[in-house]
Amino acid sequence: MDKLPELFDKVSLTTYDPDSSYHVKITHINNPHSFYARPTAYTTYLPSLEAKGEPINAEEVQLKDMVVFKSKTLNKSLRGSIFNIDNKYFDIFTPDYGFLEKKVPVTDIFKPKILGVVPPLAVHCRLANCKPITAKWEDKAIESMKFFVGEERALLCVVEKNPQILTVVLKNSCPDDISLMLAYCGHSVLGYVENQVSRLTSPPCQKLYYTYRELKLNDHIRVRMQSGKLPNDFYVAVREDYEQYLDQQYNYTYFCKKFCKLEVIDRLQVHKPVSVRMDVTYKYERGIIKEIISNSKVRVLLVDLGTTIETHVASLKVLSDRFLHYPAAAIHCCLDKNQLNETKLLTCVHPGIEFFITILEVGDNIEKPHVVKITLI
């Protein structure tokens, strides 16, 4: 692999301070309140960042890995971060363009040719002084914005910023800025948008995360099967942690019913802890957002059960930090390769069964599973 060009190391990445402006290329538009822009000054670095290295093996790929892949959307090779894995197919987010390419086969994925951690070159934006006429953006408003933006260079003027999104005024060769053009066409309403940060100093973001049982190499513990399927992706729980989860269930559900719903999609983030109402039992489970599918649907991992569900955002509620103090019961595991041919394991191990595991390789319980050896009781 080549080293990251020294020239790029010297570049001071754009800070996007309020009242600053930049010439940009609009790389992807979801709607007027969600689009991506990349400073034109970074265009020169794309060929190096998008250069393909060696082909990659599916078994090597982990969530968030940076790769280079063949994009059918743009018909070229792009840099991307692994967002979701489904057998031999991968969903990949493009940090330099801002869109998600779905169902990429492993044969179209390669290792990056250059070394180094390069921040995303595209930034997430929303138009200032621009509100939808109805509750959500209509297709004709989105198409009009794409028409006005076109393929030309634009001037992006920052109004406000927070860690998730910039509020901006966007100008190009149109007679007025893009917000005004949409309003002239009757596709939006002019007016102050309730931005996500105050014009005064905003408080630091609260860091919410679950704790997990601390595991060490060669730990030998008794567990019960929670969910999943051997050999590559399954969840177990230590009996004490599972009993604590059962003890907390009633209080947790009662408490969650007193909390307001997460109704604004901007407040949802991948890896954010949330409470999830189960449609069948009407109980609440602790979860973590794995994927935002649309403005109304998310995919959530239930951290005490190990199962992943697709649910409506109306089923989510804010998670109080008081419920982050006891560890998530489910432990993410994969079977050691030396046990892959033990058919008895594959047929006898199912949810509710207890057995022993020995930790052969410590994972992080989020992206990387623990590699374990199973001993039946």
What distance separates the 2 farthest-apart alpha carbons in the chain? 76
Distance CA(135)–CA(133), nearest Å, equals 7
Q: What does the pLDDT profile of the chain (377 residues) look like in tens digits?
A: 444 554 354 344 567 888 899 999 999 999 999 999 999 988 888 998 899 999 988 888 888 888 999 999 999 999 998 888 887 789 999 999 999 999 999 999 999 987 667 788 999 999 998 989 888 899 999 999 999 999 999 999 999 888 788 999 999 998 889 998 998 888 888 765 544 433 333 333 444 578 888 899 999 999 999 998 888 889 999 988 888 888 877 777 777 776 545 444 456 788 888 889 887 777 889 999 998 898 888 999 999 999 999 998 888 887 776 677 778 999 999 999 888 888 777 777 788 889 999 999 998 877 789 999 999 98
3-state secondary structure of 165: coil
DSSP 131: B
Domains of the chain, CATH where assigned: 6-42+120-184 (2.40.50.90), 52-112 (2.30.30.140), 220-376 (2.30.30.140)
Q: Would the pTM count as exceeding 0.75?
A: no
Q: Token digits for 192? A: 């102050």
In contact, 262 and 370? CB cutoff 8 Å: no
Strands 370-376 and 331-335: parallel
